[in-house]
Structure 1
Amino acid sequence: MRRTVTTVVLLALAAYLGLCIALYAFQRSLIYLPQPRAVGGAENLMALPTADATVLVTVRPHAGPKALVYFGGNAEDVSQNLPSFAEAFPEHAIYLLHYRSYGGSGGSPSEEAIQRDALTLFDLVHASHPQIAVVGRSLGSGVAISLASQRPAARLVLITPYNSIEELGQKQFPILPIRWLLQDKYQSWRYVSHIEVPTLVLIAEHDEVIPRWSSMKLYRQFKPGVAKLEVIAGRGHNDISASADYLRLLGQALP
């Protein structure tokens, strides 16, 4: 009997260890779902000056001080925003970052690489456009808030944001030591105290991907008067941008 119990325990431990190893090995394939680029041609593309990979940006050039820099979700082709953004924000130059392995960009995505590319993009844009609105959706909200804590953004917009990917992962896999396994934690809460620019937090009433509690937890950590919360009624995580209120609220938040 004792031998049977020992065998069961060892098998359970082996299965648990195997699950941990599998999650560690394949975690980035769960976080990043690269999409091809569907909108625009070579005239709408710019390559970032990076040494280790070709990183592409879909652009709509426009002279003047204003620009919109956008970071998309984990399964988003950001180029699809070009027509609507170009029409809705005619006074802004538009820059839509294709993460590594997305939309023709080379390399492999990781939090460190994407954050580094975001800083490079901001510095490049800021040289010509001093009034930059930084916009991040879903996964990109973590990129945007980190960037805005380090660079002089004029405005910050966080669409369906989260408090941290690490926290969401722990909720999804409560028996696993996510804190030790996860490489890309996207701890947005770490940057909130450094944000001084006017910020719009935009969430979907029926978000089925980012729980309301996670978005609200992040929002409540902003300094008083810095962030404004808006809820898009009747929409979920993936169709929030289909609401007529979406571009209207973004436009109100831009410099």
Structure 2
Amino acid sequence: MPKLLWLPLAFLVAYAAVCALLFFRQQQLIYFPASTRVPPGQTDFALPRGDVVLRGWVVRPGQARAIVYFGGNGESVQHNRALFERWLPGHTVYLVAYRGYGASDGMPSHQALRGDALPLFDHVQARHQRHPVSLVGRSLGGAIASHVASQRRIGGLVLVTPFDSLAAVAQSHYPWLPVRWLLRERHEPIRDLAVYHGPLLIVRAGKDEIVPPAHTDRLIEALPQQPQVIAIPEATHNALDEVAFGAALADFFTSGAQRAP
């Protein structure tokens, strides 16, 4: 075969190999639980889920109002305990690791994370029956929190560095790949939030290098109501100013969200 024909053929083979890798190994490419792993003995909360046990931490147990925190991808959620204890003394906060993260059993996937989120919420709501439980979701956790908000009555919702859909963000980072066609891990808060009308705060990072601003803009524009939006100018996706973030949470949960019926 002439050399000039070998070059495009080699390119096509390499391109197909990359697409196949993305399609068949996308869970390993998307989720990063390894750095978050801790022994079960370091946790103080456990929720059996059939074949697995979800484990995490509870901040200020026994308060009448409660918040469930859904962390970002690769985030060790227990590192937020001091922030929530300082800024939300009137709430019990549940920081529970996803499957495969922290001390939780199993392996993460789109279906597993969404499937675990509702029973977790229901368990917490049963513990705090006087008030609707509120949600905070960061990045990937914003998608999980949005799913719960679409299925349950909640007290309020905070989305931190959120995106419209995982496929859209991935397509922005890899425009040369048919990501929208290959991605089976479908996290799409833009669809879930179409039916949510409760109190909503969005916290943006001014220098977000993971979620391009356009994807947060699209989410906001598609919402059925105007949310409260706070931008932290010098923050990056994984590094927020804790004082600004904590103050935003405290203001939201002691004013706006607490007026929810």
TM > 0.5 fold call: yes
More displaced, 2-11 or 168-177? 2-11
**CA distances 1:88-138 after superposition (whole Å, capped 9, x unpaired):** 211111101201111111110011101111111100011122331100001
| 2:104 aligned residue | 105
CA distance in structure 1 between the aligned counterparts of 2:111 and 2:39, rounded to whole angstroms = 27
- What letter corresponds to residue 146 of structure 1 in structure 2? H
Does residue 19 (structure 1) correspond to residue 13 (structure 2)? The answer is: no
| 1:83 aligned residue | 82
CA distance in structure 2 between the aligned counterparts of 1:39 and 1:203, rounded to whole angstroms = 33
More displaced, 122-131 or 133-142? 122-131
> Given that residues 197 and 225 in structure 2 are in contact (C-alpha distance below 8 angstroms), is that contact kept between their aligned partners in structure 1?
no
| 2:120 aligned residue | 121
> Given that residues 167 and 186 in structure 2 are in contact (C-alpha distance below 8 angstroms), is that contact kept between their aligned partners in structure 1?
yes
CA distance in structure 1 between the aligned counterparts of 2:63 and 2:174, rounded to whole angstroms = 48
Does residue 32 (structure 1) correspond to residue 62 (structure 2)? The answer is: no
| Structure 1 residue ranges without an equivalent (≥5) | none
**CA distances 1:29-68 after superposition (whole Å, capped 9, x unpaired):** 22211133579965x5222120121211211253243001
**CA distances 1:218-255 after superposition (whole Å, capped 9, x unpaired):** 01111234x11111122211211x34211111111223
Q: Percent identity?
A: 35
> Given that residues 142 and 159 in structure 2 are in contact (C-alpha distance below 8 angstroms), is that contact kept between their aligned partners in structure 1?
yes
SS of equivalent residue, structure 2 residue 49: coil
How much has 1:14 moved relative to structure 2?
1.4
Aligned residues: 251
- What letter corresponds to residue 219 of structure 1 in structure 2? I
| 1:144 aligned residue | 145
RMSD value over aligned CA atoms? 2.0
- What letter corresponds to residue 161 of structure 1 in structure 2? P
Does residue 219 (structure 1) correspond to residue 245 (structure 2)? The answer is: no
SS of equivalent residue, structure 2 residue 137: strand
> Given that residues 37 and 79 in structure 1 are in contact (C-alpha distance below 8 angstroms), is that contact kept between their aligned partners in structure 2?
no
> Given that residues 57 and 97 in structure 1 are in contact (C-alpha distance below 8 angstroms), is that contact kept between their aligned partners in structure 2?
yes
| 2:95 aligned residue | 96
SS of equivalent residue, structure 1 residue 96: strand
CA separation of 1:150/1:98 partners in 2, compared to 1, >3 Å: closer, same or farther? same
> Given that residues 55 and 100 in structure 1 are in contact (C-alpha distance below 8 angstroms), is that contact kept between their aligned partners in structure 2?
yes
SS of equivalent residue, structure 2 residue 69: strand
How much has 1:17 moved relative to structure 2?
1.1
CA distance in structure 1 between the aligned counterparts of 2:17 and 2:147, rounded to whole angstroms = 33
CA separation of 1:37/1:91 partners in 2, compared to 1, >3 Å: closer, same or farther? farther
- What letter corresponds to residue 229 of structure 2 in structure 1? L
Does residue 231 (structure 1) correspond to residue 225 (structure 2)? The answer is: no
How much has 1:4 moved relative to structure 2?
4.1
CA distance in structure 2 between the aligned counterparts of 1:251 and 1:38, rounded to whole angstroms = 29
More displaced, 168-177 or 96-105? 168-177
| Structure 2 residue ranges without an equivalent (≥5) | none
CA distance in structure 2 between the aligned counterparts of 1:195 and 1:210, rounded to whole angstroms = 22
How much has 1:143 moved relative to structure 2?
0.6
| 2:65 aligned residue | 66
Q: Which runs of 4+ in 1 moved over 6 A?
A: none
| 1:176 aligned residue | 177
| 1:157 aligned residue | 158
| 2:133 aligned residue | 132
| 1:190 aligned residue | 191
CA distance in structure 2 between the aligned counterparts of 1:243 and 1:187, rounded to whole angstroms = 27
> Given that residues 135 and 158 in structure 1 are in contact (C-alpha distance below 8 angstroms), is that contact kept between their aligned partners in structure 2?
yes
Does residue 249 (structure 1) correspond to residue 248 (structure 2)? The answer is: yes
How much has 1:3 moved relative to structure 2?
4.5
CA distance in structure 2 between the aligned counterparts of 1:47 and 1:231, rounded to whole angstroms = 34
How much has 1:13 moved relative to structure 2?
2.0
Calculate the TM-score normalised by the size of structure 2: 0.89
More displaced, 3-12 or 65-74? 3-12
Calculate the TM-score normalised by the size of structure 1: 0.91
> Given that residues 38 and 77 in structure 1 are in contact (C-alpha distance below 8 angstroms), is that contact kept between their aligned partners in structure 2?
no
